[in-house]
Structure formats: structure tokens, C-alpha cells
Amino acid sequence: MHDMSSHEVQHHAPPTSFIRTHVFSLDHKVIGKQYYGLALLAVFIGMFLSWLMRLHLGWTNLAIPGLHFLSANGAPGNVMTPEYYLQLMTMHGTIMVFFVLTTAPFAAFGNYFLPIQVGAEDMPFPHFNMMSFWVTFAGFLVLMSSFFTSDGPTLGGWTQYAPLSAIGAVAGPGQGLGVVLWACSIGLFCVGQLLGSLNFITTTLDMRTKGMSMWRLPLTVWGWFITSVMGLTAFAVLMPACILLILDHVAGTSFFVASNLVLNDQLQPHSGGSTLLWQHLFWFFGHPEVYIAIVPGMGIVSHVLLANLRRPLLSHRVLIYSMGALAVLSYMVYGHHMFVSGMNPVSSLAFSFPTLIITIPSTIIVLIWMGSIYGSKLRINTPSLFALGFVSMFISGGVSGFFLAQPSIDIMLHATYFVVGHFHLVMAVAAIFGIFAGTYFWFPKMFGRMMNDTLGKVHFWLTFVGAYCIFMPFHYLGIAGNVRRYQAFVDDYIQPLIPLHRFITVAAILTGLAQFIFLYNLIHSRFWGKPATDNPWEATSLEWSTPTTPPPHNNFGDKLPEVFHDPYQYGVESSVGDYVMQASPEKVKTVNEEA
Amino acid sequence: MAKFFAITIIVIAIASAIPIVRHTWDPPANISTHGGLIDEQTSETMAEAGISFLISQILLALFIWKFSSFRPGDKIKTFPGGAKTMVWAGFLLVGTEVLALGIFGVKAWADVYFIPPAVDAIPVQVQAGQFAFYFRYPGPDGKFGPAHPELINEGTQNFFGLDTDHDADSKDDIVTAEMAIPINKEIHLLMHTKDLGHSFYVPALRVHQDFVPGLDLSLHFTATKVGKYEIVCSQLCGLGHYNMKAYLEVMSQEDYDSWLKKQAALQ
């Protein structure tokens, strides 16, 4: 609650120098924009890598002009080698999961809007906040640096299963220095997220302004808060796992390498490690990570949707409880990644039931959204289209979870493109739709200008249809038994699927090209967009009550706002229209005041 | 715009379901005694997930269609029963659905993993390594000789590290690059890897199990159809992963006996 002592802790004067204003800034808003910039850079690199991969999968011996400039060893004569394919795949997954799906919806938007939405001047630990971004950025540079090593980045996939990742260069190109750089990068990333999570949690608990009870927090804040709690536990496990992995490389330890392994006819000098230990540690992080990517998106989508439905949610609390249930259950389900890993088969059943049960809160969330659309006054604009697109993608990706939750069916679908289709829809595309919804919605507040709505809609249509054309066929490939992480399809039963791969490749390139419309819109609107009013969406939460747009250095000027209402009081009759802002003292007859 | 969006969602939902309903892309037909249960479980899940998918997408589309066109004076309506309806629907519809799937699915899983192999099951050893599978049959004495990892040498084709000079049980062991098994006989597959994590995935057999360095794992199954099927690796194991494959030949008992004799002569 409101507490002057904590406000004093985070108070810092506006910077005067360029470096302190734009580079090593303590302002959560600048840090949020820095995270967004990093995610934007990362997503275009990740997408470019996916284009190269998709071209190679469709036409294996295709010479891609200029490819040898990226890697002379990886693409002699511009044709991708098998190992280079795997290296690009690993980097695509790592960049996207960590530096896009975690960075944009959580770290970028969370940094910018969480303090404003709770009514605070900044976060309680601004130096930690600055450090969290720069450590994350250093992690990104370390990861990118592996492209410039002699044998390239690691080829072990974003999951880095041991002992392929732990035994060293003898396992293949990139498995020496490449893995060490990968583990250093992800270790740094974990440090950044731990510092960020700490700030998010303390801001939410300690920095709320007068009248802002926990139940009055917008769903975005709940999403970031729940994600921070998950992040604190999940990244705290991945970081030591990365340290142990590095030690296996540089200190001669054998945490993840078993005895008596023979590579190139040589008995390896490791003993006593456990392959499954890595998998347990990784997935104890890895499954919560799925929710770390998607729960902020759920918050953003709810927030954007409600402003456009012009009504409160069917139940604010049920949605929060459901997001909380996802977070708790996410630690109990991770073993579903390991049904056929050699783990005790009884454990597989033990992990299967919570996985099936997690569909209940997920379903309730979707039903609450759908039930709120019912009877609403839905406004169609670019943010609401992306928010509705999120719901559609989340349903499509979610139903395939029914299959993968069952060990018996996983016998057929494990490590196939079905899994790739599932997680891309439910985690990647849905989260990206959340990012787009948030971007189009908050851009006016962040930059004081509107994004072009027509271009936004064109971007939406191409992306929505394109994403389905790419990822729905992945499920068909998986059902047919198409194993993932193959650089070419030499198996008799997989070869007939190559035309479907080619279709996906064409769809991926076209959908990727559509993202340049977004990039153009983003850059053009930043400088030449129509000037935005303080509250262009007629929304209710505190970010729309700042004295200026974009908000001033300390967010609210001389006086912090006081909160009088639930966050989504739409559909009421007030002096400003069909909504009442949280910071407005006006008494109105509310529809559904739950707080 | 909203109506067009609603139609697009419905078209995408129906178009997505067509290849599933028409079985355009199916896995290789099942050839194992236990695979039928897995296929049945998959079909039931497909029906339930498919119906949930179609109903949800179509409802989403209809709501978008209907509630985006309102008149200025229209009042907000609440879904009948409000949030309670949704919570009950979540628990009852999906809860029952997933619990039913979970409980029925246990049998298919138990058939593969909880029932021990028959005492007369034919033992076959499979060893995975970058980027090939090798198989070993115990020979007439019915015993596998011990493997010595330090003796593994691909150059001399000692794939399993056998010491035939000193280990009597190894002398009659038969090592092959392809797997052959007799039809309708239970096979007890003993799995180990010499180097990294790999996987033994035979879609036609409905068998999929990772190799774990340092662990000896086993599986058992019975093939019911003569033919040649692919064994592929599904656990990323390095640059040649995509090409790590072998063939499984299911033969009549007579063909299998003569194949085994021929292989023994080649050792």
C-alpha cells in the first residue's frame, strides 16, 4: 500500500546527460523501451534464421545467395551444411524463447507500465533495474558472439540436452566453445530476469498508490506479478544448471556426463554424471518458462480487450485465480516433456494428470474472455484484432495439449512436428499476438503518437492467416510421424511430406515479409504519426491518467494519483462517457465492482 | 471488418479440420499388438479435442460477429449465469473430458511399460551411437557376452566392444546393422547407448524410447505384420542426426531362422 518511506527509496532526479538519459538510465520507462528495442532486434534476427531454416527444409540442396558470408564453413558454395542447419535452429529457438518471448511481454511492457499502473514514481531498486537490462543485453551479445567463433554456435537445440551439450567439442561442431557461450549467455539472462522479477514483485507489493488494493490492480499487473514469482523460481534453477554445464566444459567435472561413453572410438574421461539430471533441471525451468511467456500476454490481452469490449470482465478474480493456478501447476507438469526419456514410467503418469488438469484453468480463462465478449460493445481496431487473434491462437494451440499430456499418445507424437506446432501456436504466436496488441495499444502513451490503423490491420490480416498456414500443418506433419530437428528428410515415410514442408516455407516467408509492414509502421509513426491524445482508447487504468503523454520522468508530476475504482469500469454512465477512470473521484453506478 | 474476421476464423477452423477428417496425413499403419490401444486413444482424443476446437472457434467467431454491431443505446448484457457458468463449464466439461482421457490412457501406457516381458520373449540388444544403430543377438547359448566400452572400435567393426578371445558368452553373439524379428513373437529389446542420448522410434510399431547414457533400458513388443519398417532416431544427437536410421524386418519364423543362420556365418 501507499508508503512514503518506500517512495523515498526509489526517488531519483531526472538525468541531465545523454548517457544517463538514454543509455544507462534508471528510469523504468527508458529501460522498458530498451528491452523492447532488444526484443525487436532479436525477433528480426530470429525470424531471418527461421527463413534460412525453412528454405533449407523445403529444398535441401538449395544454394542461398550470400549465405557463405554468414559462415564460410557452415555454407560452402552457399549450401547449408547439416550442422549449420542445427546451429541456426538452436540460435532461432534460444533467441526467440529468451530474448523475444520473455523479454518483450514481460520485461519490456512490464518495466514501462507496471510502475505507472500501480501509481508509483518508479521501481524500488532502479539500479538493479538498469543492471537487469544491461546484463540481459550482455547475454544477447555473448550469444551472438558464438556466430563468430571458428566452428560456430552450438547445435544442441534450445534445450541443450546432455551429454551432447556437456561432453565437449568431440560431440560435434559448436559443442565446445559454442555451448560455453550459450550457457554464459543464458546464465546472464537469468541474472537479468532475477533482478527484474525482484523489482516487479516489490513494486507490486510495496509501491501501490493510495486506494490501489491488490484486487484493483489491472490484469496486466497481475500477469507480470505472477510471472515474476514464476521467474524468480524458474530462473533460479536454470542459472545453476548453466553453471554446472559450464563447469563440465572448463573444470573437468561430470555433472551431466555418465561413465563409459565412447566417441570416435575413444573412451571419454568422464564418470558418474546424470543425463536425466539436466533434463529435470532444464524442464523445471522450461515448463514455467512457457507460462512466463504467455501469462503476461494473457494480462495484456485482457487489458486491451476490455478497453474495446466496453465492459468489465465476467469475473476479474476468477481470471486472476486461474492465472495463479497456471503458475502453481506449471511446476508440477514439467515431466510431460520427459515421458519417453527413460524416466520411471510411473512418474510419467504422475506428471500426466496435472498436465491434463492444467487445461481446466486454461479453459476457464478462455471461457471468461468469450463470456465477456458476449453482450459487449466490441470495437474493432488493430489492438482488439490482435487481442482476439490471441484468443483464437491460444485455443488452437491449447487443444493439441490434450494429446501431449497423455504418455500413451506421446509415444507417437514425442519429438515430432506436432510438438513444434503446439508450442509455436500456444506459446510463440499467441505471445507475439499479445506483444502486437500491447504495442498498438500502448504506442500512443509511449511515444505520444498513434500508429497507422490501416497498416496495422493489413499487418494483422497477413499475420493471422499466415500464422495458421505455417503452424497448423506442423500438426499434420507430426501426426504422420515427422521427427523434428532433422535438416533433411531421408526416411521413406517422411519423404512424401516434403511438399507440405514447401507450403510451410512459402507461408513463413510471406508472413515474415508482412512483419516489415509492422516495422515500417513502428518507425514511421514514431516520428510522423498522428499526435495522440492522453487517452485515445477511452481506457480506465492509471497509465491514461498521467499529466503528459508520454509520462514525465516521475510518471505523475507533483502528486501521485489516488485510486477510487476497480480497473475496468466500462459500461457505466459518467461525465466522460461510458467509463470511469481508476483515478477519477467521480461516483458512478458501477456494473460489477468486485474489489 | 468484424464480420469478415468472424468468417475467416470459421473458414480457418473448418479448413484445419479437413485433413484430419480425411486422414490426409496419417502415420504408418500399426503393426504391433499394443499399438491398437494407442491409436484408439489418439482417435478419441482427436474427437474430443477436435470438437472443442471447432465449437470454441465458431463461438468466438459468432460472438465477434454479433457483438461488434451494436447501436449507441444498447445495454451491456451478461452471459447467462455469469462467471459461475464458465467456471462450472471449465470444471465439468473439460475436467471430465481430460480425466476420462487420462484414466483410459493409463491402460495403453501400462500395456507398454508396466507388464513385464514374457519369459520366452526373444532378447535383442540395440546399441545407439553417432549416427547408427547396431543390434546383437545372443546366439545359440542364449547369453550376451559382456561389453567392454574401451574395446569399441568401428574400424575393426567391434561395435559393442566384445572380447571374443576371453569371454565365452561373446563368441556366438551375432552383431548386425539391421534388425530382424519373427512375426507374432514377443521381442525383449535391451537398449543402451555408447555415446550420447538417442532415441528408438519405430512409428509403425508404436514404439518410442530414448536411449540414456549410463542407463540400460528395455522395451517389449510383438509385431503382427511381415514387412520392412524404419527405425529412426528422434533425440538430437549431432550433425548426422537426420540420417541415423536402420530397418526393422518382420519375417516369418522360417525366414527369421535362416536369416539368423546367415548372419551367424558372417560374423
Q: Which superfamily is assigned to B122-266 in CATH?
A: Cupredoxins -  blue copper proteins (2.60.40.420)
Closest CB from A263, A375, A488 relative to B76: A375
State the fold for domain A4-10+30-545.
Cytochrome C Oxidase; Chain A (1.20.210)
| DSSP assignment string, B45-87 | HHHHHHHHHHHHHHHHHHHHHHHTS--TTPPP-PPTTHHHHHH
**How far apart are the C-alpha atoms of B195 and B134, rounded to whole Å?**
13
Which residues lie closer than 8 Å to B131 by C-beta, 6 or more apart? B233, B237, B238, B240, B241, B243, B244
- Cell match 533460479: residue? A236
- Three-state secondary structure string covering A103-169: HHHHHHHHHHHHHHHHCCCCCCCHHHHHHHHHHHHHHHHHHHHHHHCCCCCCCCCCCCCCCCCCCCH
pLDDT given for residue A591 in this prediction: 57
Q: Evaluate whether A172 touches A83 at the Cβ level (below 8 Å).
A: yes
Burial of B42 (C-beta count, 10 Å sphere; 0-12/13-18/19+): buried
pTM for this one? 0.96
Q: Which amino acid is at B138?
A: P
pLDDT given for residue A10 in this prediction: 58
Chain A residue whose CA is closest to B49: A399
Joined grid coordinates for residue A554: 516521475
Domain boundaries, chain B: 2-69+80-113, 122-266
Chain B residue whose CA is closest to A492: B230
Q: Which helix (H) or strand (E) holds A304?
A: helix A275-309
| DSSP assignment string, A374-438 | TT-----SHHHHHHHHHHHHHHHHHHTHHHHT-HHHHHHHTTBHHHHHHHIIIIIIHHHHHHHHH
Please answer yes or no on whether B196 and A163 come within 8 Å at the CB atom: yes
Contacts of B42-47 spanning 24+ positions with Cβ under 8 A = B42/A403, B42/A409, B42/A412, B44/B101, B44/B104, B45/A402, B45/A403, B45/A406, B45/A409, B45/B101, B46/A403, B46/B20
| DSSP assignment string, A260-272 | S-EETTEE-S--S
Indicate the pairing of strand B186-193 with strand B122-129.
parallel
**How far apart are the C-alpha atoms of B144 and A181, rounded to whole Å?**
43
Which residue of B4, B153, B239 is the best one to mutate when testing the A interface, meaning the one whose CB has the most A CBs within 10 A? B239
Residue B207 C-alpha, separation from nearest chain A C-alpha, in angstroms: 6
Q: Which of A486, A470, A364, A369 is nearest to A425 (CA)?
A: A470
**How far apart are the C-alpha atoms of A521 and A453, rounded to whole Å?**
9
Hey, how many other C-beta atoms are within 10 angstroms of the C-beta on A370?
A: 20
Q: Which helix (H) or strand (E) holds B128?
A: strand B122-129
Joined grid coordinates for residue A288: 514455467
Which residues on chain B are in Cβ contact (under 8 Å) with A318?
A: 83, 86-87
Residue B154, phi then psi, degrees to nearest 5: -70, -30
Chain B residue whose CA is closest to A257: B213
Q: Does B234 touch chain A (CB under 8 A)?
A: yes
What's the pLDDT tens digit per position in B95-127? 888 888 888 888 889 988 999 999 999 999 999
What's the pLDDT tens digit per position in A50-86? 999 999 999 999 999 999 999 989 999 999 999 999 9
- In degrees, to the nearest 5, what angle opens at C-alpha A110 toward C-alphas A520 and A558? 100
**How far apart are the C-alpha atoms of A317 and A446, rounded to whole Å?**
29
Which residues on chain B are in Cβ contact (under 8 Å) with A368?
A: 83, 86
Q: Which of B222, B7, B263 is nearest to B121 (CA)?
A: B222
pLDDT in tens, chain A (595 residues): 444 444 555 567 888 888 888 899 999 999 999 999 999 999 999 999 999 999 999 999 999 999 999 998 999 999 999 999 999 999 999 999 999 999 999 999 999 999 999 999 999 999 999 999 999 999 999 999 999 999 999 999 999 999 999 999 999 999 999 999 999 999 999 999 999 999 999 999 999 999 999 999 999 999 999 999 999 999 999 999 999 999 999 999 999 999 999 999 999 999 899 999 999 999 999 999 999 999 999 999 999 999 999 999 999 999 999 999 999 999 999 999 999 999 999 999 999 999 999 999 999 999 999 999 999 999 999 999 999 999 999 999 999 999 999 999 999 999 999 999 999 999 999 999 999 999 999 999 999 999 999 999 999 999 999 999 999 999 999 999 999 999 999 999 999 999 999 999 999 999 999 999 999 999 999 999 999 999 999 999 999 999 999 999 999 998 999 999 999 999 998 999 999 999 999 988 765 544 4
Handedness of CA A565, A566, A568, A570 (dihedral sign): negative
Q: Residue A320 in 3-state DSSP?
A: helix
Q: Does A275 touch chain B (CB under 8 A)?
A: yes
Laid out side by side, the sheet with B217-222 consists of B174-176, B132-137, B122-129, B186-193, B217-222
Please answer yes or no on whether B239 and A172 come within 8 Å at the CB atom: yes
Q: Does B151 touch chain A (CB under 8 A)?
A: no
Q: Which amino acid is at A521?
A: N
**Strand partners of residue B220:** B188
pLDDT given for residue A592 in this prediction: 52
Which residues lie closer than 8 Å to A303 by C-beta, 6 or more apart? A218, A219, A220, A441, A541
Residue B251, phi then psi, degrees to nearest 5: -125, 165
Closest CB from A274, A385, A491 relative to B230: A491
Residue A360, phi then psi, degrees to nearest 5: -70, -55
Closest CB from B46, B213, B241 relative to A261: B213
Q: Does B114 touch chain A (CB under 8 A)?
A: yes
**How far apart are the C-alpha atoms of B244 and B232, rounded to whole Å?**
6
**Ramachandran category for residue A77: left, alpha or beta (phi over 0 → left; psi -120 to 50 → alpha):** left
pLDDT given for residue B218 in this prediction: 94
Please answer yes or no on whether A464 and B8 come within 8 Å at the CB atom: yes
Laid out side by side, the sheet with B245-251 consists of B179-182, B245-251, B227-232, B198-202, B207-211
Enumerate residue ranges in chain B where pLDDT < 50.
none
Please answer yes or no on whether A359 and B214 come within 8 Å at the CB atom: no
